[in-house]
Amino acid sequence: MKGNICCFIGHRTIIETEKLKTHLIKIIEKPVTDENVDTFLFGSKSRFNSLCLEAVTEMKEKYPHLKRIYVRAEYPYISEQYKNYLLENYENTYYPERIMNSGRAAYVERNYEMIDNSHFCIVYYNEQSAPTTRKSGTKIALNYAVKQGKNIIRVL
């Protein structure tokens, strides 16, 4: 992938407020204006990702060159109909080859893919919101991004 790229990593459930939405737009706009970020990678199964998609979509009115890419963790092969459905909200979608045959680790591997291809990671991680009955995928991704030396922008 080329260009300055940013991915989003965050909890499946978040406490969503108007203040958070406003703050998030400011956070996303800064790398666009200061670092020429033009491409955003999105995962799924996370309200934080959905909120970020809404914010970037809104920002496309001001910055029409922005690209939204959906990185799938499921369905390595999709029908033209499903692809067209996805392209209603994204400029592109792909399924990383590294996920093939990763089983239950598909979402972790997908997050690693997004982090590896990004210069910046906007992260919503709240220790109190992290699951207690299993490992937090958000925490695993955050630790990986730190280890990879990525520019991490914390929402919280």
pLDDT of 132: 62
Query: In sequence order, what E strands does the chain have?
Result: 4-10, 37-42, 67-71, 92-94, 120-124, 151-154
Question: Tokens at residue 21, please?
Answer: 């939405």
pLDDT band at 135 (very low <50, low <70, confident <90, very high): confident
Of the candidates 59, 58, 82, the one whose C-alpha atom is nearest the C-alpha of residue 70 is 82
Question: What distance in Å separates the CA atoms of residue 10 and residue 136, rounded to the nearest whole number?
Answer: 10
How far, CA to CA in Å, does 110 sit from each of 7, 18, 43, 68, 100? 11, 29, 8, 16, 10
pLDDT digits (tens, 9 = 90+) for 64-94: 999 999 999 999 999 999 999 999 999 999 9
**Domain interval for residue 36:** 4-154
CATH number at residue 15: 3.40.50.450
Q: What is the pLDDT of residues 6-27, one digit of tens each?
A: 999 998 888 888 999 999 999 9
Separation in Å, CA 23 to CA 13, 26, 37, 102, 124: 18, 5, 18, 35, 12
Helix axes 18-35, 47-59, angle to 10 degrees: 60
- Number of domains comprising the chain: 1
Contacts of 126 (CB under 8 A, 6+ apart): 11, 14, 156
80-129 pLDDT tens trace: 999 999 999 999 999 999 999 999 899 999 999 999 999 999 999 987 76
Which single residue is written with the structure tokens 């963790």? 73
Each residue of 28-74: pLDDT tens digit?
999 999 999 999 999 988 899 999 999 999 999 999 999 999 999 99
